[in-house]
Amino acid sequence: MGCSAAYRNGGALCASSGQALLPIAKRMKVPPGDIGHADLQSRTNDSARAVVVVLAHDEERRIAACLSSLAGQEAAAIHVVVNGSTDRTAEIARASRLAEVHVYEEGGKARSWNRFVLDTIDPVPPVLVLVDGDAQITTGSIAALARCLEREAHANAAAGMPRNGRRAGTYRAEMRRDHGLFGDFYALRGNFVERVRASGIRLPDDLIGDDSLIGALAKTDLGHEDQWSDGRIAVCEDARFLCEPTPFSPSGMRGQARRMSNYSVRHFQNRIVSDIMRGPGPAGLPRRLAELYPRYLPTFRPRRHPLWAWFDRQALARMRSSAAALPTFR
């Protein structure tokens, strides 16, 4: 299902998390003609409407390819937000001369999303495009997202679609049906971003799977779940992205295990956020979801599915540790 459908379906796993179920494969093969290349100086930015924000954590191996795929796109500016990285991501991004680089010492995609999207970018552009640092964007896709938002005036967001992967066709079909979005590549209408800022709503800093909540906020128009409308996310057929599958190697296997554990934390976080969206609404979102763990942990149990049982146990242990680290007030 699309990511933003997760809360509507009892915290079901978001589509992008489903990538964890893909068979481990060799390095991504890019279809010829899909990726555009151009020097920063040759871009014609005056007529572009979109500003691109790349969120990157320890992406030294892939950030150059990501930026190269964006260089020929129609965009007014490209920003790279490097969060909590310990590798050469920022150095490589600066050396490309394709983007303005912002370095945040604290990690966490949701925390960095808040800091840049809600606190930093000024003015807010008509179209704000979010890209993961490990994705490559096919030629013309930035302009395609902007056209989708122009064509569908009621939409708060536009979703790019996966171009590669064994289950890419299945995910695209689910996105068409559910109007979900992947965190790898999507656009927000500038007016929607401004309203998020004015409302005081923020993503919990420790949220895993920010795309699910962003999609839910777009579909409810920042309101209660009763105001849910799938049509507020436009699914853009002409906007595509590629991601590199997990390599079959010891490091790849270790990375895959970390992702699976994160997806399990996300599963339980989704259940908490579902309660909030069905209760007080987004105004009730805490600064950190860990603040609510003591209330919910006694009700959580690992799933029986053999794929998830072990990772769910790891996730619950991590959540108990986070809850134990909360300050105690007497």
The pLDDT, as a whole number, for residue 20 is 32
Quickly count: other Cβ atoms within 10 Å of residue 25's Cβ: 16
What CATH number should be reported for the domain holding residue 180? Answer: 3.90.550.10
* Amino acid in the structure at residue 272: I
Average pLDDT over residues 18-42: 36
Final residue of a structural domain among 243, 274, 296 = 243
Q: Which of 198, 215, 243 is the last residue of a domain?
A: 243
Q: Helix or strand or coil: residue 73?
A: coil
Instruction: Supply the pLDDT for residue 209.
Output: 85
Residue 76: pLDDT band with limits 50, 70, 90:
very high
Please tell me whether residues 144 and 213 are part of one structural domain. Answer: yes
Q: Is residue 169 part of a domain?
A: yes
Taking the C-alpha atoms of residue 99 and residue 26, their distance in angstroms, rounded to an integer, is 29
Query: Count of CB atoms within 10 A of residue 151's CB?
Result: 11
- E strands, 133-252, are 135-137, 157-162, 185-189, 233-243
Contact by Cβ (8 Å): 50, 130: no
Q: Residue 35 pLDDT more than 80?
A: no
* Same domain membership, residue 209 and residue 256: no
Residue that is last in its domain, among 222, 243, 264: 243
Lowest mean pLDDT among 33-47, 121-135, 217-231: 33-47
Q: What is the structure's pLDDT at 48?
A: 57
Domain of residue 62 covers: 3-7+15-243
Confidence (pLDDT) at 40 = 38
Summarize pLDDT for 185-208 with one digit per residue, the tens.
999 999 999 999 999 999 999 999
Within-domain flag for 55: yes
Same domain, 142 and 206: yes
The answer to whether residue 329 is domain-embedded is no
Distance in angstroms (rounded) separating the CA atoms of residues 61 and 315: 28
81 and 119, same domain (yes or no): yes
Eight-state DSSP code of residue 224: -
218: confidence class by pLDDT, cuts 50, 70, 90:
very high
Q: Residue 70: what residue type?
A: L
pTM of the model: 0.85
Regarding whether 177 and 63 lie in a shared domain, the answer is yes
In total, how many domains does the chain have?
2
Which among 212, 66, 194, 219 is positioned nearest to 128, based on CA atoms? 194
What is the pLDDT at residue 52? 97
Interatomic CA distance for residues 263 and 329, integer angstroms? 31
Residues 193, 113 contacting (CB under 8 angstroms): no
Q: Which band of pLDDT confidence, cut at 50, 70 and 90, is reported for residue 329?
A: low
272 and 296 both lie in a single domain? yes
Give the phi and the psi of residue 66 in degrees, each rounded to 5.
-60, -50
pLDDT value for 243:
86
Cα 8 to Cα 16, 100, 157, 303, distances in angstroms: 16, 37, 18, 19
Residues 41 and 95 placed together within one structural domain of the fold: yes
Between 251 and 157, the more confident residue is 157
The alpha carbon of residue 328 and the mean position of all alpha carbons in its chain are separated, in whole angstroms, by 32
Kind and range of the H or E run holding 103:
strand 100-104
Percent of the chain at pLDDT above 90?
74
Residue-averaged pLDDT of the chain? 86
Return the biggest CA–CA distance within the chain. 63
Instruction: Tell me how far the alpha carbon of residue 235 is from its chain's centroid.
Output: 15
Q: Is residue 144 part of a domain?
A: yes
